[in-house]
Amino acid sequence: MKLRKFKNLVALSTLAVLSLVSGTRGVCDSDNFTPLADSEINNADADSNFSSGLTVVSGKLNNGSIRRCFYRFDLSTIPTNATVTSASVTVSVDKVPSGGGADSTFDLRRVLKSWTETNVTWNTPWTTPGASHSSDASSTGSSSAAVTAAALGPVDFPSTPNLIADVRLWITNSSANFGWLLISQDEVTLKTARRFGAKEDPSTAPVLTINYTLPPAPVNTNFTIVNLAASGNQFQFSFYADSNKTYTVESLANLSTTNWVAVTSYPASTAAAVQVFTNALTSSNRFYRVKTP
């Protein structure tokens, strides 16, 4: 048998092989996260930790004490090359002050200092008690939500550029992930406090929803069919398959027609690999191509 090769066409005896590669598209995904850690701080009990309850409290109580709380989410499962398109947080109001609360708008403010769930207090580890210093937490909310006097149930903190920026930072730099401070904008008026669900109660735990896209897998611009050979009554060749892409080898009896017929399909793999194709030799011409969606 004679092997003839010219540009993108390889002929083995009366067989021919034609290679084709098409582009790929990015991948869209959406993930939900519940807190890895949460806790509450209380200015009336400034050295105590409140991290074991089914709820956390934020706002001003009827007795004048002020509560604030923290949520931190583990985002390590999102690839660092993801482009975040939206991020929102849903919390659940489980209880309002006795006799009804005052209307209150709450902020999620990015925390700038490391804290641990079981050791954080009003005084520790903050520069200023209550995480009030500019080095402790942002002075403005990444997202805000209004809570009416008697409202119970879900409260949504909508996606904003700042909330997306927080999430993006934590995806690319997990060491900067100190979560958010949930704080009432009004800590002067009595009864702005609300009791919110914590991670210890899955039915009312906060949920962070992140929508993102991943870039398309790189296209192998040097795609080639290699290792063409005939052995006995079998013809074979190899090609390089990119990860996360499906491939189909198709055949055609005459290049003047377009009736390509699938011969073999290769499912997507998590890693790039060299695929080997074999097919029986025939006495008539047969052209092959490798196609990917």
Is it the case that residue 2 has pLDDT exceeding 70? no
Q: Hey, which of 82-91, 234-243, 246-255, 264-273 has the most confident mean pLDDT?
A: 82-91
Res. 220 pLDDT band, cuts 50 70 90: low
Residue range 181-194: mean pLDDT, rounded = 96
The confidence score (pLDDT) of residue 227 equals 82
The confidence score (pLDDT) of residue 17 equals 41
* Same domain (yes/no): 154, 278: no
Res. 287 pLDDT band, cuts 50 70 90: confident
Strand partners, 184: 106
* Same domain (yes/no): 176, 144: yes
Tell me the pLDDT of the chain averaged across its residues: 87
End residue of a domain, out of 214, 231, 250: 214
pTM, to two decimals: 0.69
Res. 221 pLDDT band, cuts 50 70 90: low
* Same domain (yes/no): 124, 85: yes
The confidence score (pLDDT) of residue 231 equals 77
Of 15, 21, 6, 20, give the one whose Cα is nearest residue 279.
15
pLDDT tens per residue, range 73-85: 999 999 999 999 9
Stronger pLDDT, 22 or 113, i.e. the higher one: 113
* Same domain (yes/no): 146, 237: no
Is it the case that residue 54 has pLDDT exceeding 90? yes
Residue range 154-162: mean pLDDT, rounded = 97
Residue range 189-211: mean pLDDT, rounded = 96
* Same domain (yes/no): 104, 185: yes
The CATH number given to whatever domain includes residue 277 is: 2.60.40
Look up the domain containing 19 and give its range: 3-25+217-291
> Which residue type sits at 102?
A
Cα gap 198→206, rounded to integer Å: 7
Q: Is 179 within 8 Å of 39 (Cβ atoms)?
A: no
End residue of a domain, out of 190, 214, 238: 214
Residue range 138-162: mean pLDDT, rounded = 95
The confidence score (pLDDT) of residue 284 equals 80
Q: 245: how many CB neighbours lie within 10 A of its CB?
A: 20
The confidence score (pLDDT) of residue 66 equals 98
What is the separation, in whole angstroms, between the first and last Cα of the chain?
A: 34
* Same domain (yes/no): 135, 269: no
* Same domain (yes/no): 74, 119: yes
Residue range 14-43: mean pLDDT, rounded = 72
Annotate the chain with three-state secondary structure: CCEEEECCEEEECCEEEECCCCCCCCEEEEEEECCCEEEEEEHHHCCCCECCCCEEEEEECCCCCEEEEEEECCCCCCCCCCEEEEEEEEEEEEECCCCCCCCEEEEEEEECCCCCCCCCCCCCCCCCCCCCCCCCECCCCCEEEEECCCCCEEEEECCCHHHHHHHHHHHHCHHHCCCEEEEECCCCCCCCCEEEECCCCCCCCCEEEEEEEECCCCCCCCCCEEEEEEECCEEEEEEEECCCCCEEEEEECCCCCCCCEEEEEECCCCCCEEEEEEEECCCCCEEEEEECC
* Same domain (yes/no): 169, 54: yes
Of 142, 136, 133, 115, give the one whose Cα is nearest residue 39.
115
Cα gap 104→67, rounded to integer Å: 14
Number of separate domains in the chain: 2
* Same domain (yes/no): 16, 43: no
* Same domain (yes/no): 208, 223: no
State how beta strands 104-110 and 180-184 pair: antiparallel
* Same domain (yes/no): 70, 14: no
The confidence score (pLDDT) of residue 207 equals 98
* Same domain (yes/no): 254, 161: no
Residue range 143-155: mean pLDDT, rounded = 92
Res. 163 pLDDT band, cuts 50 70 90: very high
Task: Tell me the torsion sign for CA atoms 133, 136, 141, 142.
Answer: positive
End residue of a domain, out of 191, 214, 237: 214
Least confident segment among 1-15, 44-58, 211-225? 1-15
Cα gap 200→41, rounded to integer Å: 17
Distance of CA 286 to the CA centre of its chain: 46
Res. 234 pLDDT band, cuts 50 70 90: confident
The confidence score (pLDDT) of residue 129 equals 98
